[in-house]
Structure 1
């Protein structure tokens, strides 16, 4: 996988909104990124609005494209997620990144870009975005800095009683579960074979999570993984008649037959920690009395 050069003080980075429009200014994020010695350039979409989107599809495409094409820009950070990335993904020419790779950063709806880049063999960063920075923990923010500047990402998390213990190492893929499902069979779908899959989601019904993980399994995506990292599944909903199973039970009912390590409560997703992952990079997992993870 192609890895972009890590950032250094003085580098220019861009913030653009490829999906939903911003609700409030990004003063905290700009201040933080600037404090790391970065020169922050704002895209036209940052102040744009068209229905729920950060400008028209055309504007969002142009904004993203100009930052891909500008070789002085060393990283592109999505200001927020929401919905809209899939509306522009096929109009963007990512080929300049094959000769001049740069970090694409974000999570949630930005999983569309992460998967597309992984299909092309380019690493990216799943991490906090400007819209979520004001509510982030220090751990989440420091992990973003480390991911951008090339420091080792090391996490140790308490054991979950339903973890499937073991060790594994390999290339990490994934992101938002709903987005992964929406990309099945598309130009942005990838080969899961031999990979370590990370998943997270927000606001879903429990039965929908059951349906989605079974859809991934039926598509042949889960049987040859090396491991599964389960991040935050937050703000979940249930029916009037309870579904009856927890997220952990839903996932294990499908993947436990494959006998690879499964780690619950990895601190990433729609949570305040939302620790960074370098998607497409190598991850080492040792899941025992506690879980140690290194990117």
Structure 2
């Protein structure tokens, strides 16, 4: 039986309608049954509809009975809705087999759902940026991303592995039964101190971002450091940080500078190069699920399917 995917827009307006159509077609070619929310292509200022419209779309997705609820795109807007989301309805949908999948602004939804219900959602692609690439370019949806999406959809996803940018400091690492959580760094930091930020101790915190200069990334990490959030984890895993430009004023200050600074500040491992973020080649990660992490040298394995 075909897996049923419900496409909805809880954040920014879809400006690239061609990418939207390509994404739908690609999912259909891959064998999925795609249903579009009535307001998936709505627009109000920079949003995919006003707050009530986007809130209703979330609740329709939860009530759709689909196997997967996939956002059309990220952007901005979910933090405006957090106080009014019916979290029990979302949790019930997941209990009945639905998987909520998204990236970027969707981090706000995922952290709030985790904080309020402990329910697992999936950090992964959005429709347009994940499946809708192409058009005038020769770019195609990434094979690894699509394979990971299929594994999640079929319930076969067991973990992921990758190579770090540098060898692990301090020798081999083994972490067991730690909660995987995190997402977009900017969105995550904006939620600190709110009722929608999960209190996770002994977790594996993964982070990514786009369009943030390394000094801005460091400033946000500093907030997580000084608030004690980082030191309460068993490991911090840095994904892909893209879309920024270095300047002459930086005088050698770059992303690797930030990574080295963070590693010096923390007594827990800081791992790098997780294949997740605003890039085509990305894995899917279960936000709120417990996993084991093993690392030696540059090689890392994160396993949750055992």
Q: What TM-score do you get using the length of structure 1 for normalisation?
A: 0.89
- Using the alignment, how far apart are the partners of 1:193 and 1:267 within structure 2? 24
CA contact 1:125–1:277 (8 Å) conserved in 2? yes
Match of 1:56 among 39, 44, 50: 50
- Using the alignment, how far apart are the partners of 1:179 and 1:77 within structure 2? 19
- Using the alignment, how far apart are the partners of 2:47 and 2:90 within structure 1? 25
Cα deviation digits, residues 187-239 of structure 1 (max 9, x gap)? 21111311000000010122111110000011110112111111100012345
Secondary structure of the residue aligned to 2:250 is: coil
CA contact 1:147–1:278 (8 Å) conserved in 2? no
The corresponding residue for 2:201 is 193
The corresponding residue for 1:80 is 73
The corresponding residue for 1:12 is 4
Secondary structure of the residue aligned to 2:24 is: helix
Q: Which runs of 4+ in 1 moved over 4 A?
A: none
Q: Quickly say closer, same or farther: Cα 1:282–1:41, change in 2 above 3 A.
A: same
Q: What TM-score do you get using the length of structure 2 for normalisation?
A: 0.86
Shift of 1:29: 2.5
**Within the alignment, does 1:66 sit opposite 2:60 as a pair?**
yes
- Using the alignment, how far apart are the partners of 2:240 and 2:155 within structure 1? 25
Match of 2:228 among 220, 237, 244: 220
Cα deviation digits, residues 125-174 of structure 1 (max 9, x gap)? 11111111233310011111112221134433224226435222311000
Secondary structure of the residue aligned to 1:199 is: strand
Match of 2:142 among 133, 137, 140: 137
Where do residues 244-255 of structure 1 align in structure 2 (5 Å cutoff)?
Answer: 244-255=252-263
Query: Greater CA deviation, 283-292 or 117-126?
Result: 283-292
- Using the alignment, how far apart are the partners of 1:225 and 1:275 within structure 2? 22
**Within the alignment, does 1:202 sit opposite 2:195 as a pair?**
no
RMSD: 2.0
- Using the alignment, how far apart are the partners of 1:205 and 1:257 within structure 2? 20
Q: Quickly say closer, same or farther: Cα 1:251–1:188, change in 2 above 3 A.
A: farther
The corresponding residue for 1:6 is none
Shift of 1:37: 4.2
Match of 2:160 among 155, 161, 164: 155
Shift of 1:43: 0.9
Secondary structure of the residue aligned to 1:201 is: strand
**Within the alignment, does 1:273 sit opposite 2:281 as a pair?**
yes
Unaligned runs of 5+ in 2: 134-140
Cα deviation digits, residues 1-59 of structure 1 (max 9, x gap)? xxxxxxxx334331101111112242332233334543221112222111221111111
Q: Quickly say closer, same or farther: Cα 1:196–1:148, change in 2 above 3 A.
A: same
Alignment size in residue pairs: 286
